[in-house]
Amino acid sequence: MDSSQGAATAVTGGGGGGGNGLISQANDTAAVNALDDPKQNLNQVINSIQKTLGLLHQLYLTVSSFNAASQLPLLQRLNSLVMELDNMVKIAEKCNIQVPMEVLNLIDDGKNPDEFTRDVINSCISKNQITKGKTDAFKGLRRHLLEELEQAFPDEVESYREIRAASAASAADLKKLAQAQSMLPNGDMKVKSEL
């Protein structure tokens, strides 16, 4: 192997033995010892995918200009690709990412997965409008019933409104108390962790 191929192999991480094997083992150990933080695991998978894409590109370049002298770099790059794919599988096992089948089907059909997101959002908007219409209808019914009851039983409706006002005031007090307990000394709110 000439010096340019040796330098390219060292830069790309190719090479079956020596220091490259130790670096790969150190990276594997670091990946195993990494915190189980979901965001960090996802970033590791993304980095591994990007590294794999780079290795595939280098492999493509090596194969497209293949000659007898480039057989060793080709084998080294293949070994690097296999090691990175193995590393990616190990890292991916720690990630719990759930992708809806509809998204995968859209990708298989050659469509943009953003269409799925758009459809879900539009569906949520339409369901929200239906629910809002129902709540508005119930509010109108309640208001109409209270008007009718007030005409027939004015004293009972007045006592009902007093009871409702008292319960609403106590609920507001409980809400303020709960908010005050979740306040930090600097005025910020405590936030639950996403785990």
What are the tens digits of pLDDT across the range 30-53? 444 444 577 888 889 899 999 999
Measured in whole angstroms, how far is the alpha carbon of residue 13 from the centre of its chain?
30
Question: CA–CA separation, 23 vs 46, rounded Å?
Answer: 20
Question: CA–CA separation, 171 vs 159, rounded Å?
Answer: 18
Which has more pLDDT, 36 or 60? 60
Residue 172 has pLDDT above 70, yes or no: yes
- Tokens (6 digits) for 26: 């150190």
Residue 187 has pLDDT above 70, yes or no: no
Domain ranges of the chain: 38-97, 109-182
